[in-house]
Chains A and B, each alone.
Chain A
Amino acid sequence: MKKAYILLIEDNPDDVELTKRAFAKNHIVNDIVVLSDGALAADYLFEGGRGERGLPQFILLDLKLPKISGLELLERIRKHPETQLLPTVILTSSKQDEDLMAGYRLGVNSYVRKPVDFNEFVDAVRQVGLYWLMLNEPPPDGSFEV
């Protein structure tokens, strides 16, 4: 069985560090693959950029990304046959109604706002991680490759 890992698409190194730290605080030790812009993520997901590596357990997606925006990436994830069922969680500073609506329209699984308070942030990451790694039953194995 391939090792379950988390794909974090986030350009802000502070947020990357804080997110990793929050996972660590919550004793979530799965690998975290970080991609710092939308183009890299597209390459990783659709153009063979990940090499032999399989798809992640779930994606944490920031909205404001260089080159290809988070929403655009989400749209492509949902269109691509390999990734269309891949659990994707938006983790962003924005709680603009427009972003929320767009995210849900494009078929995001969750929308989580990054709280400024680190304790709250840790809590949010814990809940998200636990949910998508432990509680949630992923689609049947191999269905991602349909």
Chain B
Amino acid sequence: MEPHGALWMRKPDLGLVIERITDGVLAIDASWRVSYINLAAKRMLRIVDESDVLGRFWLDAFPKARGRRFEHEYRRAMREQVTIELVEFSPTANAWLEEKLFPSQEGLTAIFRDVSSRIEAQREIERSSSLQQAVIDFGRLALAGLPIEEIGEEAVALLRGGVGADIAEVFLYDWQAQRFHCLAATGWPEHAAHPLTRYCLDHFLSAVESGQPVVMTDMRNDRRLPQMAELTELGITSGVVVPIGTAYQPLGVLAGYGTVPRKFEFADVRFMESIAQTLAEALRTSESNRMTFQVIDSIRDGFVAVDRDLRITYVNQIMAQAYRRTPVQMIGTKMLEYVTDPELAAVALSKSREALASNRAVTFESLVDERWYEVRIYPFADGVAAYVRDVTGRKAEELRVRELNAELERRVQARTKQLELANGELESFSYSVSHDLRAPLRAIDGFSQALADDYGDRLDATATGYLRRVRGAAQRMAALIDAMLTLARVARHEIAFSRVDLSQMAAAIVNDLRDDDPSRTVDAIIEPSIVVFGEPVLLHALLANLLSNAWKFTRNTPHARIELYRGGGEVVVRDNGAGFDMAYANKLFGAFQRLHGVDEYEGTGIGLATVARVVHRHGGSIRAEGEVGRGAAFFFTLPPELPEG
């Protein structure tokens, strides 16, 4: 490119052209005096009268260039005779100038233009991108779970650096008390009152009430807010207040102030709004965390969360107390530092792995210092949380229940043993009864007979009668003993159920009765095929007792009749014999209960007791109806037939 200077030197008539071009042109001669300045340059450099600069030493004409890059580069261009380009902020022009310096032996020509708007735009782009990055970094930081106080400190530091606020502060709004309190502040002059002592400032309220930022360019002239005077007294002249949260749910304000009047850019406000939004999110997260942690801290059980490196990310008060530490001391340290029992550590580790691998809660119990703990491990994305409950009480209760059960079992066993012994005793008692009691009876009977046989001739009728009575008594007692043994056998007899034809059984019994007592004429009317389900031996004892009773008690009845039939689910044995008084019906089935004198009808008083016991052992019931002189009827039920097996 051809130097302008040469062009101008060769053709002086071009002076007019140069005078009119929009670039500034300034010429300095070899002795550093201003030799020419064109119209555009005069306008840019704010020179009203060109005589103020023409012919003067250039640094006297433009004193603000002294010591700046301009001076340095002008001198270098002359010294080295090289063309130099530079972009620099000119305090004289109060603008960014792009300059080209063309040196020659006669002097130096500088051609320059105002590039302020370009530079500013470029700087604005750079600044906004760095602000954007700062907002992103802050967001990451704020949501990392730091305490809200630390996030507040970060916010004010960012505000100071990002928008160049001299003072920055974050106030939280308590909407119930309609009061603000300071979360973080920076940049306040020493003599200013501590921010915590100030509250309820108008511009804060204005911001939270409108949900819109309040921008104050020059407070000294701002009449909107009367309390501004307080701030201007502290040297504050400009500021921006942006609300945190919304007008519906205000959480606080973020404020930045300057000590010089200044116009906050749209980008600055946007930047602050971004920070405010992040703060709002952090506050909400922190609030929900706080509430969660409040709940966790309030529970009387231990709670600890660890990350995948087993570093404690949260521990509640109870858990920390268990290790004689505070939560703050423990957070960030490794959990296994506190678990001294190697067995517990191993179990906890393997259960945590299990929980993470299966993504399911895993529970185990552990005995530590004589107390039982239930540990439930919950997996989550970044680690595991353990919920630790002291279950010593429950364990003790379980142990007590187990001991009680064992004790109960022991008692049952002891009682069973006792019962077995008692049964054994009963058995040997029965044996003795059948054996030992019968022997003396036999002696009584036998020797009575011997007496009668051998000495009968020396006894009178009365003595012989007495001997007969002795023998009769002995034989009755023997019968009683046999009946008692039968009753006892019914109680002990195991029940093996099978189908039993009562009709056939009854017919056989009646035949036996006829054979034993052929002199009697008794009508036996037996309904055929009464088939029941029961134990044959016991049912035989039942029928034999009832039928022989009927046989016996019809002894004095002219037309004796014995019936066996079914009716209404019951089996009935009826006779038309002596009968009984219903008033004594309740005594019928008791052992040794008799409703007739021995001389009237012989018997042991055990028969019906045996009958009742047989029925009851089958799970059935029995009742009797009777009338003196008109017969008796016995009704019994047996359980319905059970399926085979």
Known: A93-B442, A96-B430, A121-B442. A116 touches B474 (CB 8 A): yes
Cα–Cα, bound, A18→B447 (Å): 8
A14 interface residue, CB < 8 Å from B? yes
Known contacts A18-B443, A114-B442, A117-B445; is A95 also within 8 Å of B475 by CB? no
Contact A14 B434 (CB under 8 A): no
Output the least CB separation between B429 and chain A (Å): 12
Residues on A lying within 8 angstroms of B by beta carbon are 12, 14-15, 17-18, 21, 63-64, 92-96, 114-119, 121
Nearest B residue to A13 via CB reads B443
Main secondary structure of the interface of B (DSSP, over half): helix
Q: Does B450 contact A (CB under 8 A)?
A: yes
Q: Of the candidates A94, A117, A119, A121, which one forms a contact with B435 in the assembled complex, judged by CB atoms under 8 Å apart? A: A94
Chain A residues near B471 (CB, 8 Å)? 117-118
Q: Does B441 contact A (CB under 8 A)?
A: yes
The answer to whether A116 and B435 have CB atoms under 8 Å apart is no
* A15-B435 contact given A116-B445, A118-B449, CB 8 Å threshold: no
- When distances are taken between beta carbons in the complex, the residues of chain A under 8 Å from B443 are 12, 14-15, 18
- Of B442, B445, B475, most buried by chain A (CB within 10 Å of CB) is B442
Do B450 and A116 touch across chains, with their CB atoms under 8 A apart? no
Tell me if B478 counts as interface (CB < 8 A to partner A). Answer: yes
Is B439 at the interface (CB under 8 A from chain A)? yes
Task: Pull 28 A–B residue pairs with CB atoms less than 8 Å apart, ordered by A.
Answer: A12-B439, A12-B443, A14-B442, A17-B446, A18-B443, A18-B447, A21-B450, A63-B435, A92-B435, A93-B435, A93-B442, A94-B435, A95-B434, A96-B430, A96-B434, A116-B438, A116-B441, A116-B445, A116-B475, A116-B478, A117-B475, A118-B442, A118-B445, A118-B448, A118-B449, A118-B450, A119-B449, A121-B446
How many of chain B's residues touch chain A, expressed as a range?
Answer: 20 to 34
Residues of A within 8 Å of B434, CB to CB, are 93-96
A64 smallest CB distance to B (angstroms): 5
B438, B440, B441, B447: residue with the most chain A Cβ atoms closer than 10 Å: B438
- Report the Cα distance A136→B66, complex, angstroms: 164
- Check: B584 CB closer than 8 A to any chain A CB: no
A114 to B437: give the CA distance in the assembly, Å.
12
Q: Nearest chain A CB to B113's CB is how many angstroms away?
A: 136
Which residue in A15, A17, A118 is a CB contact (below 8 Å) of B439? Answer: A15
Give Cα A96 to B348, complex, Å: 69
Q: Is B601 an interface residue when CB atoms closer than 8 A count as contact?
A: no
Q: Are A94 and B474 in contact (CB under 8 A)?
A: no
Interfacial chain B residues near A96, Cβ < 8 Å:
430-431, 434
Residues on A with C-beta less than 8 A from B446 are 14, 17-18, 21, 118, 121
Q: Which 5 A-B pairs have the closest CB atoms?
A: A14-B443, A116-B478, A118-B446, A118-B449, A18-B446
How many A-B pairs have beta carbons closer than 8 Å: the answer is 61
Instruction: Among A92, A96, A121, find the residue whose CB has the most chain B CB atoms closer than 10 A.
Output: A96
CA distance A114 to B445 in the complex (A): 12
Smallest CB separation, A32 vs chain B (Å): 16
Over the window 408-449 of chain B, the binary record of Cβ atoms lying under 8 Å from chain A Cβ atoms (1 yes, 0 no) is 000000000000000000000011001110111111011111
Docked pose: A55 CA to B475 CA in angstroms: 36
Residues of chain B whose beta carbon lies under 8 Å from any beta carbon of chain A: 430-431, 434-436, 438-443, 445-450, 471, 474-475, 478
Inside 8 A of A121's CB, which chain B residues have their CB?
442, 446
Q: In the complex, which residue of chain A has the Cβ closest to the Cβ of B453?
A: A25
Distance in angstroms between the alpha carbons of A96 and B450 in the assembled complex: 29
Chain B residues whose CB sits within 8 angstroms of the CB of A64 once the complex forms: 435-436
Closest chain-A Cβ to B1's Cβ sits at a distance in Å of: 140
User: In angstroms, how far is the closest chain A Cβ from the Cβ of B138?
Assistant: 99
- From B436, B446, B447, B475, residue with most partner A Cβ within 10 Å: B446
In the complex, the answer to whether B445 meets A93 with C-beta atoms within 8 Å is: no
Question: In the complex, A15→B434 CA distance in Å?
Answer: 15
Cβ-defined contact, B449 with A93, below 8 A = no
Cα separation A14 to B447 with both chains bound (whole Å) = 9
Tell me which residues across on chain B come within 8 A of A92, comparing CB atoms: 435
Bound complex: CA A117 to CA B470 (Å): 11
Q: Which residue of A lies closest to B448 (CB)?
A: A118
Q: Which residues of A contact B442 (CB under 8 A)?
A: 14-15, 18, 93, 114-116, 118, 121
B464 CB, min distance to chain A CBs, angstroms: 15
Docked pose: A14 CA to B446 CA in angstroms: 9
Output the nearest chain B residue to A15 by Cβ-Cβ distance.
Answer: B439
Question: Bound complex: CA of A63 vs CA of B448, how far in Å?
Answer: 25
Q: Chain B: which residue is nearest A114 at the CB level? A: B442
Flag if A14 contacts B439 (CB, 8 Å).
yes
Bound-state Cα–Cα, A21 to B436, Å: 21
Q: Kindly list chain B residues whose C-beta atoms are within 8 Å of the C-beta of A95.
A: 434
Told that A21-B446, A116-B445 touch, could you supply 11 new A-B pairs with CB distance under 8 A? A14-B442, A14-B447, A15-B443, A17-B446, A63-B435, A64-B435, A93-B442, A94-B431, A95-B434, A96-B430, A96-B431
Min Cβ gap B472→A in Å is 10
Residues of B within 8 A of A18 (CB): 442-443, 446-447, 450
Chain B residues, CB < 8 A from A117: 445, 471, 475, 478
Residues in B whose Cβ lies below 8 Å from that of A12: 439, 443
Closest A residue by C-beta to B438: A93
Give CA–CA (A96, B482) in the complex, Å: 11
- In the complex, chain A residues whose CB is within 8 Å of the CB of B475: 116-117
In whole angstroms, what is the CA distance A114 to B436 when docked?
12
Closest Cβ of chain A: how far from B470's Cβ, in Å?
A: 11
- The distance from the CB of B449 to the nearest CB of chain A, in whole angstroms, is 4
User: Nearest Cβ in chain A — how far from B94, in angstroms?
Assistant: 133
Residues of A within 8 A of B448 (CB): 118
List the A side residues contacting B447 at CB < 8 Å.
Answer: 14, 18
Given A21-B446, A118-B446, A14 and B435 touching (CB < 8 A)? no
